[in-house]
Chains A and B, each alone.
Chain A
Amino acid sequence: MTADLSIRNLARDFGAFRALDNVSLDIAASEFIVLLGPSGCGKTTLLSILGGFLAPSSGSVLIGGRDVTRLPPARRPTTTMFQDYALFPHMTVQDNVAFGLRMRGIAKPERRDKANSFLELVGLRDAWAKKPHELSGGQRQRVALARALAVDPDVLLLDEPLGALDLKLRRQMQDELKAIQKRVGTTFIHVTHDQEEAMAIADRIVVMNRGRIEDVGTPAEIYRRPRSLFSAGFMGEANFVPATVKEIRGSEAEVDTALGPLVLPLSAFATEPRGAGQKVTLCIRPEHLRLQPEDGAAALGQARVVTSAFFGTHHRCRLESRSGTELIAHLPQQAEVAAGRGLELWLARDQVVALAPG
C-alpha cells in the first residue's frame, strides 16, 4: 500500500549539536524521494525519525494524514531497509521474509505463500531455503527488500542500501529498485551521498546540508536551476564566478563579472534581483562553455588551455580566461585542446544561474 508523508518543522538535537534544523517537506504517495547530502548533513537522522527509531526534539511526522510522531517502529506504517541488511542469520531466506507476517499472526501456509511471492518479485524464489551467509551481497540486499515489502508498508525507508556494492552491481540494483517501486507503488525514501545515484532513481531529490534542506526538485530542476551554492556544487561540477548587478532592463539584467560584462535573463536569478550593486555568484557549469557561437551565446574572448584530460565523451579542461579567471570546461570530443593552446570561448547565457553569494 502507499500513503503520502508530511514532515512538519522537524528538529533534533544531540546535546549542543543541532542535527536537524526546522525541516519541513511534503511527499506525495508513490513518490521515489532521495535524501541527498554529505555525511553529517542529517539525512540519516531524518530517516531514523521517520522510521520511529529516534524521537524528534520538536516537530511532527504525518503519514496518510495521521500523526505518527509518537508511534514506535512496530506500529508505524513504515519499514526500514538497513545499511547492513540485518538479515536474521539463523533463519532461512523464506523465514526472514515471512517474519513480519508472522508477527502479525498470519498462519504459516499463508505467510509462506506471501513470502514466496515477494521473493519472486526480487528474483530470488529459488533461494528460499538458503541462509543469509550463503548469499552474495547483492542477493542479501534483495532479501532485505523483500522482507521490508512483505508487510505492505505505506512508506519504505532505505538507508544507503547500495553503498556496499561495487559499481556495476550498484547500477543494476538502482534500475531494479526503480522498477520494483513502480510495480508496488509504495512511497520510497532513499538516503544516499552519491548524486549520480540520486539522479538515476529519484522522482524528486531533497538536497540536505548541515541539518537543513537546501533544495528540493526533480533531478533536472536541481541540476539546471539549483537554489543555493551548496546545491549547485553538490550536484555536479560548477564554476562559481562572483558578479555584481549593474542595471536591470526589462526582462534582462546586466552584471559585471571577472569575465567581463554579461547580460542575463531575469529567469537566471534564483531570487529576483533587487537592483544595482547587488552581489551574486554565477554558477557556470563546465558544459555551458562553448567553442562556437550559438544562438544567444555571450562572447568571453580568448582563453588559454592550462591542462586537459580526455574522458571519452568530452575533454575536461582547465582554462585561464583573458582576465586570469580559472574555468573548468567540458569541451567536445573532437576539439583540439593541447596545453598552452589559445581558444575562443562562448558562454550559453540561458543556462547560467545567478545565486546568492555564500
Chain B
Amino acid sequence: MPVTATDLERAEIRKGWALALPALLWTLFFFVVPFGYMAALSFWTREGRRIVATWTLDNYIAFFEKAHLFKGLVVSLEITAVVTVISVLIAYPLAWIIAEKVPRRWQRFALVMAVLPFWTSYVVRSYSWLLVLSEGGVVNQALMALGLIGEPLELSANRIGTIIGFVHFFVMLLTLTIYANLIQLSPNYRRAAADLGANAFQTFWHIVLPLTLPGIMVGAFLTFVLCIGDYITPQILGGNNELALPQVIMLQLGRRADFPMAAALSIVLMAIVTLAYLACARWLRMERA
C-alpha cells in the first residue's frame, strides 16, 4: 500500500515527540507539578503536622503584617541593591583593564586568575571570608599590627560581612561577563572614533560604555537574581541580628515545619525576581529601539 505524504509526516512527528518526551515529562513531573503544588500550598495552612487544604490568603497577609517576615524582604532588597552596584563598579574597570591593557597572549591567563576562586565550593568560599573577617582574622590582625585600629572591627556576623562575601563572588562573575562583552566589540569602532578625533576618554565615554551597557545590564540582573535567592552567604556571614528572605523561608521549614508559609514566601521571592526580569527586559528593548 503506498505511503502518503501525510503518513510520513505523522510518523516523523511521532518520532520527534518520542525523543522530546523524556525531557518534557521530567520537567513536568519534577518541576511543573512541584511548582504548582507549592503555589497551591501557599494558599493553604497547616495544623500541627498536617496540611489543611482550605483556600486562604492568611499566609500572604501574615507576610505583610508580621514585621519579622516582611523585614526579610527589605533586608534582601537592600543588600542585593548595594551588592549589585558595588560589584559592577569594581568589576567593570577590572574587566576593562584585562581587555585593553593586558597583552593579548596573557588575557586568558589574567581572566582565569581573576576567576579561579570561583572554583572553591560556594560554602567553603563563604567560610573563608568568615575566617578572614573574624575578630582574630587576618584583616583585623593586620590593621591592628599597622596601628590603624585599636580594637578589632566587627566585619563578620553582620551585614558588612554578608555584603563583602557577596561582592567577592559577584565581582568574579561580572568580570567574566563584562570581559566577554568588551572583547566582542569590533576594534574598528574604536579606530573609527580615534580616526575622527576622539581621545581615549571620549572613545570610552561615547562609544565603549554605551555599547557595553546592555551587557552590564544583563550581568547586573544575573547578580540580582542570584543574590536575592541565596541562603548560604547570609547564613554564614550575616549573624543573627537580621535575616534575609531565603533565611526566613528556611526558618519556616526548620523548626515550625510550616510548609504553606515557606511556600508563600517563596512565591513572593519569585514575584520580585519576575518584576526585576520584566524591568530589565523592558530596558533592553528600549535600548535596542
Contacts and interface: CB of A to CB of B under 8 A. Distances in A.
A118 interface: no
Interface string A50-88: 011100000000000000000011100011101010101
B211 A89 contact: yes
Contacts of A72: 194
B197 A80 contact: no
A308 B229 CA distance: 77
A84 B189 CA distance: 10
B207 interface: yes
A78 B192 CA distance: 11
Contacts of B15: none
Interface string B176-200: 0000000000101101111111110
Contacts of A90: 210-211, 287
Contacts, number: 58
A274 interface: no
Interface stretch (A5-13, A99-107, A281-289, A333-341): A99-107
Contact of B197 (A51, A82, A89, A100): A100
A74 B194 contact: yes
Contact of B191 (A53, A88, A148): A53
Interface of B: 186, 188-189, 191-199, 202, 206-207, 210-211, 287
Contact of A80 (B191, B198, B211): B191
A147 interface: yes
A156 B253 CA distance: 72
A79 B198 contact: no
A328 interface: no
A79 B192 CA distance: 8
B195 A73 contact: yes
B196 A100 contact: yes
B16 to A, nearest CB: 35
By size class, the interface of chain A is 20 to 34
A151 B197 contact: yes
A74 B207 contact: no
B188 A147 contact: no
Given A86-B188, A86-B189, A74 B195 contact: yes
A103 B196 contact: yes
A82 B192 contact: yes
Contacts of A51: 195
Contacts of A86: 186, 188-189, 191-192
Sorted from nearest, which 7 A-B pairs have the closest CB atoms? A100-B196, A103-B197, A86-B188, A86-B192, A73-B195, A82-B188, A73-B194
A256 to B, nearest CB: 55
A120 B238 CA distance: 64
B196 A147 contact: yes
Contact of A79 (B195, B202, B211): B195
Contact of B196 (A53, A84, A99): A99
Contacts of B195: 51-53, 73-74, 78-80, 148
A86 B187 CA distance: 9
A103 B198 contact: yes
Given A82-B188, A88-B189, 5 more contacts: A53-B195, A78-B195, A84-B186, A103-B196, A103-B198
6 contacts: A53-B191, A74-B196, A79-B195, A82-B192, A103-B196, A147-B192
Contacts of B191: 53, 73, 80, 82, 86
Given A89-B211, A103-B202, A74 B197 contact: yes
B197 A104 contact: yes
Contacts of A53: 191, 195
A74 B207 CA distance: 15
Given A82-B188, A82-B191, A88 B196 contact: no
